[in-house]
Amino acid sequence: MDNQADARADGDPPSRLDAAEFEAHQSVLRGYFARRVRQAQDVDDYVQDVYLRALAAAPARGVDNWRAFLLRVANSLLIDRFRRNAVRHQDAHHALDDVAELVDDGIATPERTVMFRQELACLEAALRDVDPLARHAFLLVRVDGLSHREVASRLGLEVKMVSRQIERVLAHLARTMVEPAR
């Protein structure tokens, strides 16, 4: 603690974000994200991600203006999330809760239930037919929401190889799910 006081007395900015500064900037970040994020429940997650990024990336020489630095990190976080969601076509996806509401709204007939179960069984069978590595990469991207780069580092592959594996699975699913069984 004396080292921080000495550093400030020497004119060097603090190199770490202390608890008081955290509290002061937390409301600024909440307001920043509240105006820019669609779902209010995500604001706290964004604020936490900003602090994680800021603490990991804070320069050793210190930060002159923590508020500006944190807002810059927040802006970068929003840009990264926007790009990731655009690549994944997140706006085109439906949450499982939304799909369940469509099925559970009284319209679910026995025929539709059987049809959905048959499609699910066909999908499971089609996924069993593909290479295990390709299936794992596909599920990590499409179900777990990881980027191709994240999957590549997790599986020890090149990003291009992950993309090819996913393309092969999608092509196999398109052939299996669209073409009638012969």
pLDDT (0 to 100) of residue 91: 57
Gap between the Cα atoms of 57 and 51, Å rounded: 10
Amino acid 53: pLDDT: 82
Convert 5-30 to b/e letters by CB count within 10 Å (16 or more is b): eeeeeeeeebeebeeeeeeebbeebe
Residue ranges in the chain whose pLDDT is less than 50: 1-10, 12-13, 181-182
Separation of alpha carbons 15 and 94, rounded Å: 43
3-class state of residue 108 by DSSP: coil
Burial of 32 (0-12, 13-18, 19+ CB in 10 A): buried
pLDDT of res. 156: 92
Question: What was the pLDDT predicted at 182?
Answer: 45
Among residues 103, 148, 145, 143, which one has the least CA distance to residue 127? Answer: 143
Q: What is the pLDDT of residue 64?
A: 79
